Every structure is written in C-alpha cells, then in structure tokens.
Amino acid sequence: MNLQVEMEHHRNILIVRLSGELDHHTADHVRMKMDETIQRGLTDHLVLSLKNLQFMDSSGLGVILGRYKLIKAKGGKMAVCDVNPTVYRLLDMSGLFKIMPIYDNEGHALSGLEVVS
C-alpha cells in the first residue's frame, strides 16, 4: 500500500493528511480509518490536506464524496487544501469544488471552518 494517512483533531475539526496514492488499492483502508474516527463523535468538520498526494483515481474521489456526505449528515462542513495540480484537475472536473471549498493551506482551511462552528 503506497498511501500514508495522518489524522489530527483541532478542536472539533478532523484534519486528514494523505500522502502517496489514493486509488482502488488504498481506498477501502482510508475509508474505514476516516469513518472510524468520524463516528467516535469528536468530529463536526473535516479538512482534507492533499499536499503530498501524488495520485488519485475515481475510487479516491468516491472516498472524498462519501466522507463529505457523512460530515454533511452530521451538520458539519468539509474542505480540501494544499491540492497539487494533477489532483486539482480531477477534483475540478468532478465538480467537487461546487459543493466544498478549497484552501491554499491547512491554516486557511481551519480558519474557514471555525467561522461556521
């Protein structure tokens, strides 16, 4: 598995940092790990930091959209940040940025989501 997942809570916001490749080989692992953390009840909002994500396919897109629906069902907000050009293109073509904001970095994403908390 060529993917690393790092998670950190900042108040009621879960920050998920992905490094490597989010594809059909790694999507289930990421989905389960994120869902487990979100379901614990300490998470109202989610920031997905993709600074070190080199590749993502449609399976990865499904993971992101599924977590968006989960967070939205809890009344929360989700944002992405630090997206490289290759992954940005996929997210843009999918229409993802029409439903969730994108920020330059984690600090801006946290500030944006804390306004709604």
Residue identified by tokens 């379901």 is 39
How many residues in the chain? 117
DSSP label at residue 83: -
CATH topology of domain 3-116: Transcription Regulator spoIIAA (3.30.750)
Q: Which amino acid is at 35?
A: D
Task: Report pTM.
Answer: 0.93
Tell me the CA distances in angstroms from 78 to 24, 27, 45, 50, one per residue in order. 22, 18, 6, 13
Nearest residue to 30 (alpha-carbon basis) of 19, 45, 43: 19
Q: What is the pLDDT of residue 116?
A: 60
The pLDDT tens digits for 61-111 are 999 999 999 999 999 999 999 999 999 999 999 999 999 999 999 999 999
